[in-house]
Amino acid sequence: MIVEDIIKSHIVDTVKELYPDIPENLIQIQKTRKEFEGDYTLVIFPFLKWSRKSPEQTAKDFGDSLLKRLDIVDSVNVVKGFLNIKLKASFWLGKLAEYIEDKNFGFFAPTNKRFMVEYSSPNTNKPLHLGHIRNILLGWSVSNILEACGHEVVKVNLVNDRGIHICKSMVAWLNFGNGDTPELAGKKGDHLVGDYYVRFDKEYKSQIKELVSKGLEQAEAENSAPVFVEAREMLRKWEAKDPETIALWKKMNGWVYEGFDETYGKLGVSFDKTYYESNTWVLGKKIVEEGLSKGIFFKKEDGSVWIDLTDDGLDRKLLLRSDGTSVYMTQDLGTAEQRFDEYQFNKLIYVVGNEQNYHFQVLKLILLKLGYQWSDEIYHLSYGMVELPEGKMKSREGTVVDADDLIEVMIRTAREVSEELGKLNEMTSEEADNIVNMIGLGALKYFILKVDPKKTMLFNPKESIDFNGNTASFIQYTHARIKSVLRRNEGTSFIDELDNATPDSKELELIKLIETFPETVKLAGENFSPALIANYTYDLAKEYNQFYHDYPILKEENLANRNMRLALSYQVAEILKKGMYLLGINVPDKM
């Protein structure tokens, strides 16, 4: 039970004792503001109707009653209509001992709720890039946080393995590949296929330019360019299950999957289930046909199927093209229905960039009109784009930051910075490799996750590895520092004599910051925001480093105070490790 709930339960009893008729929902308690003395503050104004006294006198009455009936209260003070309550140091020391004993501190009991989180969702026409990394890291961290909140979590991936964009890579490979393979090219399969996606775009633009020079309008040239016509025909053949088209599609997608798995492994993420649009688009077409028969959708003269959402303040949405091929919305309808049938989720979270906000608004509305009441449980975790100092990324032009290249750069930078600061001295080469991998990947993950998901962010690799700033490196180093202190005390219990310690205000503040870890986890789960965990963890590391600088630990002569400081150190290390785990980051014991 968190301290605020303990205090509130006692305050409720005190209020009821003084004024039995006061509704419980009027009892407001909050943490005391830093400029006042106290731990918790009771708002007095709602009680004046019953007390018929001034705010100050009413507060004094409550304070006197609390001091008499609650032994953990050290003192109270009245500031106008607020009662500030200060708890005894012995209470906080007891809570510290409690937290140390509770190995699940900060994590919650099962809720019997099932959350499904979809993240990554790559296309098989290009490798993963920096934008995917933000998506993947958000999905993985949110899943960890939801599990810490006691929910069952099903982590899923939806691979966009069909559609005109996939056919573009296939057409380019057929026309320009000359039998190229990842082995022959010496490249990961996803990189090779991505190269042909870029090649298609260059050829497409060249053909459009040529057609326009011959007198065609821009739109007509775009639709008439030979490579585009070929890609569109290939999509039709794919949906018709043409054997040669399917064989090529399977071969090239196979190359990409191997590449994706290698990148996922580097990032330390995985999935409980992977869905493929090549399967779910058929389910979506079936749903569209049913909606058409019920009059929810309508068909135009060219055979295309639409839904009119103008009465809902939206627009008309295409569901099937005139040639019968499906669009993203079609397959998303099928995937959503399949997932609910399989898992009966309480919440389905899509981790998708904010450029798709409208898409998910429409998806939920269509599902609701089709009668799927669980559509209310769909949540779009919309996140801002990742930009670079050089500007935005464009996949078809080949100007993206490749995920594998970025990971390599981060690890190399971690090694350079660590060597320069002497942090790899006296380590074996194997230990050094493990540390620089931990630092490099930690830096990448933390730099991305510390930003509120809704915000567009600027990623600068050079700023992400700093042993003194708001970075993973700083938190990792703090954990290693604490572990070093605890190793020197190995074999000696620091719980003994804890009751006799005499903490000062700074030490008590550190305990109180520890105490807020569970509520931070809960809040992060409610808001699907790893940034809350990241910034709490940094604040805790920062406060501990100030404590470490100001107070002797192993050299403290008073045994009780020495043990208290060791206990504080131990619990901070535990929370730093848990907090970073929730972000998908490892922390070293030595550094």
Q: In a 3-state reduction of DSSP, which class is residue 528? A: coil
Determine the angle formed by the axes of helices 429-449 and 472-487, rounding to 10 degrees. Answer: 130
Query: Among 3.40.190.10, 3.90.550.10, 3.40.50.620, 1.10.287.110, what is the CATH number of 119-387?
Result: 3.40.50.620
Q: Give me the CATH code for the 3-87 domain, please.
A: 3.30.1360.70
The reported pLDDT for the residue numbered 395 is 42
Q: Phi, psi (5° rounding) for residue 426?
A: 65, 20
Type of residue at 452: D
Residues 6+ apart with CB under 8 A from 356: 380, 382
Residue 92: alpha-carbon gap to chain centroid: 32
pLDDT tens for residues 181-195?
A: 999 999 999 999 999
d(CA 227, CA 213): 17
Taking 80 as the threshold, does the pLDDT of residue 1 lie above it?
no
Quote the CATH superfamily of domain 403-582: Isoleucyl-tRNA Synthetase; Domain 1 (1.10.730.10)
Mean pLDDT (the chain, rounded): 92
Helices (DSSP H) in 268-402: which residue ranges? 277-293, 328-343, 357-369
The reported pLDDT for the residue numbered 420 is 86
Token readout for 260 is 């994706």
**Residue 343 burial class via C-beta count within 10 angstroms: exposed 0-12, middle 13-18, buried 19 and up:** middle
Characterize 148-176 residue by residue with b for buried, 16 or more Cβ atoms within 10 angstroms of its Cβ, and e for exposed: bbebbbbbbbbbbbbbbbbbbbbbbbeee
Going by pLDDT thresholds of 50, 70 and 90, the confidence category of residue 399 is low
Taking 90 as the threshold, does the pLDDT of residue 317 lie above it?
yes
Is 290:220 a contact under the CB 8 Å cutoff?
A: no
Dmax over CA atoms of the chain, in Å, equals: 94
Residues 6+ apart with CB under 8 A from 52: none
Is 405:127 a contact under the CB 8 Å cutoff?
A: no
Strands 73-79 and 114-118: unpaired
pLDDT tens for residues 346-392?
A: 999 999 999 999 999 999 999 999 999 999 999 999 999 887 666 44
Name the most confidently modeled range: 23-27, 64-68, 338-342, 387-391. 338-342
Going by pLDDT thresholds of 50, 70 and 90, the confidence category of residue 213 is very high
Q: In a 3-state reduction of DSSP, which class is residue 47? A: helix
The reported pLDDT for the residue numbered 396 is 42
Is 534:444 a contact under the CB 8 Å cutoff?
A: no
The reported pLDDT for the residue numbered 552 is 95
Token readout for 184 is 């022959």
Token readout for 325 is 């091929």
Residue extents of the structural domains in the chain: 3-87, 119-387, 403-582
d(CA 214, CA 225): 12
Characterize 58-79 residue by residue with b for buried, 16 or more Cβ atoms within 10 angstroms of its Cβ, and e for exposed: bbbbbbebbeeebebbbebbbb
DSSP string, 385-450: PEEBTTB---TTTT-S-BHHHHHHHHHHHHHHHHHHTTTTTT--HHHHHHHHHHHHHHHHHHHHHT
Is 398:196 a contact under the CB 8 Å cutoff?
A: no
**In whole angstroms, how far apart are CA 367 and each of 30, 306, 487, 532?**
41, 14, 58, 32
For residue 33, the 8-state DSSP code is P
pTM over 0.85: yes
Closest C-alpha among 449, 445, 443 to residue 471: 443
The reported pLDDT for the residue numbered 43 is 93
Residue 316: in which H helix or E strand, if any? Answer: strand 316-320
